[in-house]
A and B are shown apart, each in its own frame.
Chain A
Amino acid sequence: MSKKRITRRRFVASSVATVAAISAPYVSTAHAAGKLALGMWDHWVPGGNKVFDEIAQEWAKKEKVELTIDYLSTQGNKLLLTIAAEAQAKSGHDIMDFTAWEPAQYVRSLEPVDEVMKEALSNNGPISPAMEYIGKSSGPWNVVPSTRGSLILPPCSRIDLMKDIAGIDVQAMYPAGKDPTPEAEKWTWDAFLVAAEKCHKAGHSFGLPLGATTDSLDWVGALFSAYGAALVDAKGNTTVKSDEVRQVLDYTKKLFAFLPTDAASWDNASNNKWLISGKGALVFNPPSTWVVAKRDAPKVAEKLWTHAMPKGPKGRFAPSLPRYQGLWNFSKNKSAAKSLLVHINKPESIRKLVEGAAGYDIPPYQKLLDYKVWDVQGPPAGTLSHYPNRADQVNSLPCSPAPPAMASQLYTNAIMPKMIVRIGRGENIDQTLAWATNEIEGFRRN
């Protein structure tokens, strides 16, 4: 049996080839083929999964990868449980779908995706700072911000009730297919409070949830941002006892009195039902409320208008609920996974995803917010025209700017909505601030 001698030249050549093969993520080599499994959020909009299937399978066919996509529902926390189980078992899908602060919780199990983001940013332009904040929680990009499933939760108002009871013409402020008019400058949190009181007295309270749910956290987060109030600063210091927090709590004490009596235990469906049943005049939600109303209560749907958030002392902030795709660091086919992530974040793929989900999905790239899909939805015509951010509105991420590991705990434990409920039930502000401080100290456990 002959033995081949490994020369220094041969060793260097082999090493260079190996390094190149590992670090070349987009090259369709034999390493890029094989199998790839995706655990994706199950899109509730009919057609939302189909369009993703088409985009992903088109890539798989070209790259000769055997691609499996499992759509996992958030109902019953199926997606969350799958993420937790796979992180523990270090086995399962290659790419997983994450939401809100989950990437920060699982950062130790995620593969950096800087190369993917470099490509995505060069194709799509700058990304929303809120998305970047979570995506780069530990320095490098740990996850890829997703168009599919990312949403904001702006007001969805009853045109008639807002006009007749509160004297606010939401269509005049936010006309279909056009930028907000100067009237929109008067749409502030103070004006919101007056409108909330009038509608409450008329038996059409604003349906604002205050439970430990994402819908609650997102609108409360946007309100806190509008007042510049944060419970923990970017360096991790507790800032609960600041003037801004006191100011926002003073505000919510008044607002709480005009909300439905059981808002403290509402789930993510309660606000939708409140508006669709005809009881409510306004909720903060993505277009799902309007879409369900169109199906179940068309007369109500015809009177709904989605528009921008009220403005606070520090600006106009939209509640956002981002989604991300992350690559497990135990994936066996990382190069193929990265290649797919680049493909689904190409401008053409993003456009198909947004149109396939009837405008429910919001791209994280400001440059891509000019699609016509939002202007053509109805009735009423143009009802979603102001669903994506226009003019001065920017996305807010509840619990930011706290370091992601801390923010994740503030979010999961719904500290901000709980503060509002405590104040609303008659606790004095100092007691509430002391309670929140104590809770936050508990989250510092390593």
Chain B
Amino acid sequence: MVDATIKNEGSVMRADRRNSLQKAWQRKSTIAFLMTLPLILLILVLVIYPALYAVHLAMLNKSMQRFVGLSNFSFLFTRETFWMVVWQSCIFALTAVFFKAIIGFFVAHFVHNIPDKGQRKWRGMLLIPWVIPPAMSTLAWLWLFDPSYSAFNWILEHFGIAGIPWLGDEHWARFCVILVNVWIGAPFFMIMYLASLKSVPEQLYEAAKIDGANWWQTMRFVTLPMMRNIIMITALFSTIVTFANFDIVRVLTRGDPLDQTHVFATWAFRLGIEGGDIPLGASVSLFMVPILTIGAIFILRDIVKRGNEA
């Protein structure tokens, strides 16, 4: 009798376990986890592991034989060129993101106001700079700035104006790398803002119109608040990507003249790969991570907060 009871309890427990396993399998979160598992694995292998490995490298000495803690960072803080690169990266990223946002915002409005019939081809054409691989389009820009065959200088010289040392003068060179970045990145802002504009309910504009709101008031109290989250996320995403930019500077100037166009990624490449000092290169490339992380946390927290309020 006792045995039978124990056996019954055992089979009940097994059945419970089976049921809970079945329930777990049927739970949406489990299915979602399994479906995202390949992506999680990819992120672990291609993002998390290299990131941790970079942290490990940044804490080794030049010959990579000894752990030195944060010495590479403290060494960098004593270098004049490092602070120049910090300054340049900030100028590059913030200026480029600002102009991409402004241009993207206005172009999105223009495209939004084009009748639906013709809008598609404009959207397609305006996205071209963004869909061409940046290294290729930057190469075309390099030829436009070329000292011997510059098309820009050719035009200027036709008007009797002396050619400009596009990439040889520090100010012009910085202008050029920012210009190319804006040219490539503005369509991304445009398409994001356009999607956001299209999601603003038409009734809000009608209500504003009934209330007698002018263009600026409609923009200030309807459009901008409705686009705010997209503007913040796009700006955040673009700031991170622009800070990490490599190809534009590498192809156009390689950091010249006098390192005055280097950004973190190109200078890290110069030190780590070309100079054979991989730990120092890793330290340079990791320098912005904490700053961008803090910025991202604040922006995302604000977005989530507003999402909850809504």
- A265 near B167 (CB under 8 angstroms)? yes
- B255 near A105 (CB under 8 angstroms)? no
CB distance from A412 to the nearest CB of B (A): 4
- A residues 209-226 in Cβ contact with B at 8 Å: 210-213
CA distance A273 to B142 in the complex (A): 13
Is B112 part of the binding interface, using a Cβ–Cβ cutoff of 8 Å?
no
Is B168 part of the binding interface, using a Cβ–Cβ cutoff of 8 Å?
yes
Residues in A neighbouring B274, C-beta threshold 8 A: 77, 80, 412
* Of A81, A261, A445, the contact of B273 (CB 8 Å cutoff): A81
Give A264's nearest chain B residue, CB to CB.
B257
CA distance A210 to B254 in the complex (A): 12
* Of A102, A212, A276, A409, the contact of B255 (CB 8 Å cutoff): A212
- A262 near B166 (CB under 8 angstroms)? yes
Residues in B neighbouring A266, C-beta threshold 8 A: 147, 168
- B residues 145-163 in Cβ contact with A at 8 Å: 146-149
The contact sample of 13 A-B pairs, CB cut-off 8 A, is A84-B273, A106-B276, A108-B63, A212-B256, A261-B165, A261-B169, A262-B167, A265-B253, A276-B148, A412-B270, A439-B81, A445-B75, A446-B62
Residues in B neighbouring A80, C-beta threshold 8 A: 273-274
Using an 8 Å CB-CB cutoff, how does the interface string of B231-274 with A read, 1 for contact, 0 for none?
00000000000000000000001111111000000000010011
Give B167's nearest chain A residue, CB to CB.
A265
Give A435's nearest chain B residue, CB to CB.
B80
- With A265-B256, A413-B275 already in contact, the answer to whether A274 and B75 are too (CB < 8 A) is no
- B residues 74-126 in Cβ contact with A at 8 Å: 75, 78-81
- B148 near A265 (CB under 8 angstroms)? no
* Of B78, B168, B258, the contact of A418 (CB 8 Å cutoff): B258
Interface residues of B (CB under 8 A from A): 61-63, 75, 78-81, 146-149, 165-169, 173, 253-259, 270, 273-278, 280
- Interface centre among A108, A261, A276, A277, by most chain B C-beta atoms within 10 angstroms, is A261
- A445 near B255 (CB under 8 angstroms)? no
CA distance A260 to B169 in the complex (A): 11
Give B146's nearest chain A residue, CB to CB.
A273
Chain B contact surface mostly: loop
- B148 near A270 (CB under 8 angstroms)? yes
- A213 near B254 (CB under 8 angstroms)? yes
CB distance from B152 to the nearest CB of A (A): 12
Q: What 8 additional pairs, Cβ within 8 angstroms, besides A105-B275, A265-B257?
A: A213-B254, A260-B147, A260-B165, A264-B256, A412-B270, A413-B270, A435-B80, A439-B81
- A277 near B149 (CB under 8 angstroms)? yes
Give B76's nearest chain A residue, CB to CB.
A442
- With A211-B256, A264-B256, A265-B173 already in contact, the answer to whether A277 and B148 are too (CB < 8 A) is yes
Give A102's nearest chain B residue, CB to CB.
B276
- With A260-B147, A262-B169, A413-B270 already in contact, the answer to whether A267 and B254 are too (CB < 8 A) is yes
- A211 near B257 (CB under 8 angstroms)? yes
Is A369 part of the binding interface, using a Cβ–Cβ cutoff of 8 Å?
no
- With A81-B273, A442-B79 already in contact, the answer to whether A264 and B146 are too (CB < 8 A) is no
Is A37 part of the binding interface, using a Cβ–Cβ cutoff of 8 Å?
no
CB distance from A33 to the nearest CB of B (A): 34
- A438 near B258 (CB under 8 angstroms)? no
Is A421 part of the binding interface, using a Cβ–Cβ cutoff of 8 Å?
yes
Residues in A neighbouring B280, C-beta threshold 8 A: 445
Give B172's nearest chain A residue, CB to CB.
A262
Give B252's nearest chain A residue, CB to CB.
A265
Give A106's nearest chain B residue, CB to CB.
B276
CA distance A88 to B272 in the complex (A): 12
- A438 near B80 (CB under 8 angstroms)? yes
